[in-house]
Structure 1
Amino acid sequence: MAGFSEILGHEQIIEHLQNAIKLQKVSHAYILDGEEGAGKNMLARAFAQTLQCERGGTEPCGECHSCKQAMSGNQPDIITVTHEKPASIGVEDIRGQLCGDIQIKPYSSPYKIYIVDEAEKMTVQAQNALLKTIEEPPAYGVIMLLTTNADAFLPTILSRCVTLKLRPVKNEIIRPYLMEKYHIPDYQAEVCTAFARGNVGKAERLAQSEQFAELKSHLLHLLRHLRDMEVYELTEAVRSASEYKTEINDYLDLMALWFRDVLLFKATRQIDGLVFAEEINAISAQAQKSSYEGLERILKALEKAKVRLNANVNFELTMELLMLTIKEN
C-alpha cells in the first residue's frame, strides 16, 4: 500500500480525506468514482492505512505494526469485499463479507474498513442489504465503494455516502513520472500521456505494453503512406487493421491524435504541443497537402467509425470507408 504522498494528482480528494482525519469527521460511507486505472484503489488504501496507523497522523507512517500489516495486505481490520461472479456482486457477498462482519468489533484498530471494488456491479438486492448497514453503521465502520459509474447506485445509497469524483491528472505531472519510473524516451512518454487522457494507471500500462508499441509502429507506417496507397493496398491495410480488432478503440484514438497533430501544425507551424513531434517531417508534409475542412472530415469520420464499431456494424466495411475518407482528404 502507498501513502497519500505517493499518489499522482487528486490533490482535492487527498485534502478532503486528510481533513476528515484531522478534524475527526470521517464519514461511514464513501464513493470513489472514476474510470478504471484512475487511482481509486490507491486512494482508498492510503486512506485506510492512514486511519489505522498507530501514530494517528494524516499520512501513514509505514513503520508501525498496523502499517506493515496493511502494506503486506494482512491488516485484519481492512477488508476487501470479493465476489465470485465476474459480472455481479450478489446479496450474499454483501451480507456475508460486510453486513454480518461489521457487527464484530475491530480486532486491533480504531476502525473496521471495507473496500468494495467494482461496486457498480452490486445487484439491487445487494445494494438494499448494504443500505441497512449504511443507515445504522457502528461507530467504527467505514465503507468505501469504488466505482466506474456512480449512476448505477440507488438514489438512497448516493444520498447517504460522500461521493468523491476523480478528475484527470495533468499531463505535465504524468509525463516526467513515466520517464523516470520506466526509463522511456520523452516522445514515448508524450504519446502514452496524451493517449491516457489524465489516467495514470492507463499511462503506466501503455508505457509497459509491447503490444501498444507495436500498434503505434504499425499505425505510424500506415499514416505516413496512406495518401499514396492504391486501392488494393487500402484493402490490405483494412485486413491488417483486423489484427487489432480487440484494441480497435486504441487504434482509432491513435489515428485521431495523429490528425490532431497535423491540424495543430497546419494552424500554428509550431512543433511544441505535438504528440508525435518525432514525426515532424511526415506531419508537415500532410499539413501542406490537407485542407482544414479535410482534416475536420477525417476527425469526424474517426468518431463515426468508433460509434459504428461499438454498435457492431461490419468491421471491414467500416474500416474501408474510413481509409477511403482519409485518403480523399
Structure 2
Amino acid sequence: MPGFHDIIGHERIKEHLQKAIESNHVSHAYILTGEAGMGRKSLANAFAMTLLCEKGMSEPCMQCHACKQVMSGNHPDLIFVTHEKTAGIGVDDIRSQIQDTIMIRPYSSYYKIYIVDEAEKMTVQAQNALLKTIEEPPSYAVIMLLTTNQEAFLPTILSRCVQLKLKPLKDSVVTSYLTGSMGISESRAEVYGAFARGNLGRAIHLAASEEFQALYMELIHMLKHLKEMDIMELLNYIRKLKEQDPDLSDCLDFMQLWYRDVLMFKVTQDINLLVFKEEFNTMKEMSAASSYEGIELILQAIDKARVRLNANVNMELAMELMLLVMKEN
C-alpha cells in the first residue's frame, strides 16, 4: 500500500490532503472523483494511513504498528464499506456499516476513517441516511467517498463534502513510468500512454494485457491493408475483434489515434510527434496518399460510428459505414 510519495502525479490533491493534516484542518467528508485506475483508492489509502500513523507527520512512516496494521488490512479504525448487491449500496449497508458504528470511539487512534468505494452506487435513501451522519459527525470521524461519477450524488451530499477531482496525467509521465518501472520499450509505452489518456492504471493494464497485444497486432494489420481488403473481409475482421472487445470502444480509440498520427505527419513531417513511431513508413505512405479533407472525413466517420454504437445501431451497419469512408479516403 503506497504512501503519498509513492503515488505518481496528482500533486494538487496530495498537497491539499497533506496540508489538511499538517494544519489539523481535516474535513469530516471527502469526495474523490476519477476514472477507474486513476488512483482514487491509492490516495484514499495514503490519506488514511497518514492520519492513523503514530508519528503524526504528513507522510506515513510505514514502520509503526498502526501503519503495519493498515498495510495488512487489519486496522480497527479504518473501515471499508462493502456491499453485496451489485446493483447498488442500500440504506441498510450505510446504517449497519457506518451509522451503527460511527459513535463508537476509535480503538487506538484519534481518527476513525470510513472509505466507501463505488459510492455513486448509493441509492437516494442511502445518501439521505449518510447525510444525517455527515451533517453532525463526531470530531474523530472521516468519511471518504470514492466515485467515478459525482453527478450521481444529491446536491446536499456534494455541498457538505470537500470535492477532489483527479485529472489525467501527462502522457510523458505515464510513458516514463512504463519504461522505467515496467521495462516497456519507449515506442510501445507511448502507444499505451496515448491510448490510456492519462490514466496510469489503464496504461499499466494495457501493457500487461495479452488480449490488448493481440488486438494491437490485428488492428495494425487491418489498417495497413485496409485499401486492399473488400468490405466483407473487413467486417469479418471486425467480428473477430469484437470477440476481444464486445463494445468495440478500444478498436475505435485505436483507429482514431492511428489516423491522428497520419494527419500529424502530413502537417509536420516530424516522426517525433507520432504515437506509432514504429509504423513510420506506413504513416509516411498514408499521409502522402491522403488529402487533409479525406483524413478529417475518416476521423468524423469514427466519431459517428461511436455515436451509432452507443445508440444501439446494428454493429455491422455502423462499422460498414465507417469502413466505406476509410476505403474511399
State whether residues 238 and 320 of structure 1, in contact with CA within 8 Å, keep that contact through their aligned partners in structure 2. no
Aligned residue in 2 for 1:295 = 295
Q: CA deviation at 1:239?
A: 3.4
| CA distance, structure 2, for counterparts of residue 256 and residue 104 of structure 1 | 54
Cα deviation per residue 1:44-102 (whole Å; 9 max; x = unaligned)?
A: 00000000000000000000000001111111111100000112000000000011111
| CA distance, structure 1, for counterparts of residue 205 and residue 235 of structure 2 | 31
State whether residues 115 and 146 of structure 1, in contact with CA within 8 Å, keep that contact through their aligned partners in structure 2. yes
Cα deviation per residue 1:224-254 (whole Å; 9 max; x = unaligned)?
A: 0101223443343343333334251011100
Q: Which secondary structure does the structure 2 equivalent of 1:106 belong to?
A: coil
TM-score between both structures, scaled by the size of structure 2: 0.98
Q: Which secondary structure does the structure 2 equivalent of 1:227 belong to?
A: coil
Q: Which secondary structure does the structure 1 equivalent of 2:102 belong to?
A: helix
| CA distance, structure 1, for counterparts of residue 214 and residue 41 of structure 2 | 29
Aligned residue in 2 for 1:134 = 134
Aligned residue in 1 for 2:150 = 150
State whether residues 182 and 208 of structure 1, in contact with CA within 8 Å, keep that contact through their aligned partners in structure 2. no
Aligned residue in 2 for 1:239 = 239
Q: Which secondary structure does the structure 1 equivalent of 2:30 belong to?
A: strand
Q: Which secondary structure does the structure 1 equivalent of 2:115 belong to?
A: strand
Q: Which structure 2 residues correspond to residues 26-45 of structure 1 after superposition, within 5 A?
A: 26-45=26-45
Q: CA deviation at 1:317?
A: 1.1
| CA distance, structure 2, for counterparts of residue 290 and residue 279 of structure 1 | 16
**When the two structures are aligned, how many residues end up with a matched partner?**
329
Q: Which structure 2 residues correspond to residues 218-229 of structure 1 after superposition, within 5 A?
A: 218-229=218-229
| CA distance, structure 2, for counterparts of residue 234 and residue 215 of structure 1 | 14
Indicate the larger mover: 225-234 or 88-97.
Answer: 225-234
| CA distance, structure 2, for counterparts of residue 235 and residue 136 of structure 1 | 59
Aligned residue in 2 for 1:259 = 259
Which amino acid in 2 is paired with 1:125? Q
Aligned residue in 1 for 2:214 = 214
Cα deviation per residue 1:198-234 (whole Å; 9 max; x = unaligned)?
A: 1111111111101011101000000001012234433
| CA distance, structure 2, for counterparts of residue 24 and residue 139 of structure 1 | 12
Aligned residue in 2 for 1:268 = 268
State whether residues 28 and 137 of structure 1, in contact with CA within 8 Å, keep that contact through their aligned partners in structure 2. yes
Aligned residue in 1 for 2:310 = 310
Aligned residue in 1 for 2:79 = 79
Aligned residue in 2 for 1:110 = 110
Note closer, same or farther for the CA distance 1:89–1:231 as it changes in structure 2 (3 Å cut). Answer: closer
State whether residues 244 and 251 of structure 1, in contact with CA within 8 Å, keep that contact through their aligned partners in structure 2. no
Cα deviation per residue 1:170-204 (whole Å; 9 max; x = unaligned)?
A: 11111111112222111111111001111111111
- Tell me the percent identity: 61
State whether residues 215 and 241 of structure 2, in contact with CA within 8 Å, keep that contact through their aligned partners in structure 1. no
| CA distance, structure 1, for counterparts of residue 229 and residue 98 of structure 2 | 60
TM-score between both structures, scaled by the size of structure 1: 0.98
| CA distance, structure 2, for counterparts of residue 181 and residue 247 of structure 1 | 31
Aligned residue in 1 for 2:2 = 2
Indicate the larger mover: 30-39 or 172-181.
Answer: 172-181
| CA distance, structure 2, for counterparts of residue 318 and residue 290 of structure 1 | 23
| CA distance, structure 2, for counterparts of residue 8 and residue 48 of structure 1 | 18
Which amino acid in 1 is paired with 2:28? H
Which amino acid in 1 is paired with 2:102? I
Please provide the CA RMSD for this pair: 1.0
Q: Which secondary structure does the structure 2 equivalent of 1:49 belong to?
A: helix
Which amino acid in 2 is paired with 1:187? S
